[in-house]
């Protein structure tokens, strides 16, 4: 990427510079060493949509690969702890709490996946929460693809984050 292809800071919402780019436009890991450790939490959500027969098979535990929801939940927890190995320039941080909740949505039909990640660190856990939801959804797909290939992973997004210099964030506000 050349300097001419870079987005100017005037084009960035809130007129904030892009911290993952140096003055020459090269990708860099942000230096957080001068930041204070604070308690930070992030909540992310996503959905997995499927046919009613697939939903029923998962809900009743009648699938070829076993416990779909339990395996997806564990995969999400494990993924949150590995985020810095998966996302370039993401800081390895001490993840002190990860919860993954998978809720049936019969009217969809499908499942809502929610991840809550908490730390006391110099940087936030938004990427860890989003990664947990993404990998839990991918695992659910993998565990149920023998029943249906058209399962759809959708609407993965940050719901809320607290802590840190940039303050709190709430989706939709």
pLDDT at 2: 40
Measured from the Cβ of residue 78, the count of other Cβ atoms closer than 10 Å reads 15
**Domains delineated in the chain:** 37-170 (3.30.70.640)
pLDDT at 89: 84
Q: Along the chain (173 residues), what's the average pLDDT of each consecutive run of 10 residues? A: 41 59 71 77 98 97 93 98 92 95 98 97 92 98 96 98 89 86
pLDDT at 17: 65
- Output b/e per residue, 15-33; b: 16+ Cβ within 10 A: eeeeeeeeeeeeeeeeebe
Q: What stretch of H or E contains 162?
A: strand 152-162
pLDDT at 91: 87
pTM score? 0.84
In Å, how far from its chain's centre is CA 64? 27
**Whether 67 is catalytic:** no
- Label residue 92 exposed, middle or buried (CB < 10 Å: 0-12, 13-18, 19+): exposed
pLDDT at 9: 41
Q: Which of 11, 22, 56, 142 is catalytic?
A: 142
Helix (H, G, I), strand (E, B) or coil at 147: coil
């Amino acid at each position: 990427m050349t300097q001419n292809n870079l987005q100017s800071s005037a084009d960035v919402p809130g007129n904030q510079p892009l911290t993952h780019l140096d003055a020459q436009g090269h990708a860099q890991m942000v230096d957080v060493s001068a930041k204070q450790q604070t308690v930070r939490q992030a909540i992310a959500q996503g959905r997995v949509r499927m046919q009613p027969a697939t939903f029923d098979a998962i809900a009743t535990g009648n699938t070829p690969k076993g416990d779909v929801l339990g395996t997806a939940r564990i995969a999400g927890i494990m993924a949150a702890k590995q985020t810095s190995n998966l996302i370039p320039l993401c800081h390895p941080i001490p993840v002190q709490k990860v919860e993954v909740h998978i809720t049936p949505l019969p009217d969809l039909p499908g499942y809502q996946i929610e991840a809550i990640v908490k730390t006391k660190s110099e940087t936030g856990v938004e990427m860890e929460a989003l990664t947990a939801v993404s990998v839990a959804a991918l695992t659910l797909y993998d565990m149920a693809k023998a029943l249906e290939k058209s399962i759809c992973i959708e609407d993965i997004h940050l719901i809320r984050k607290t802590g840190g210099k940039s303050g709190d964030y709430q989706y939709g506000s």
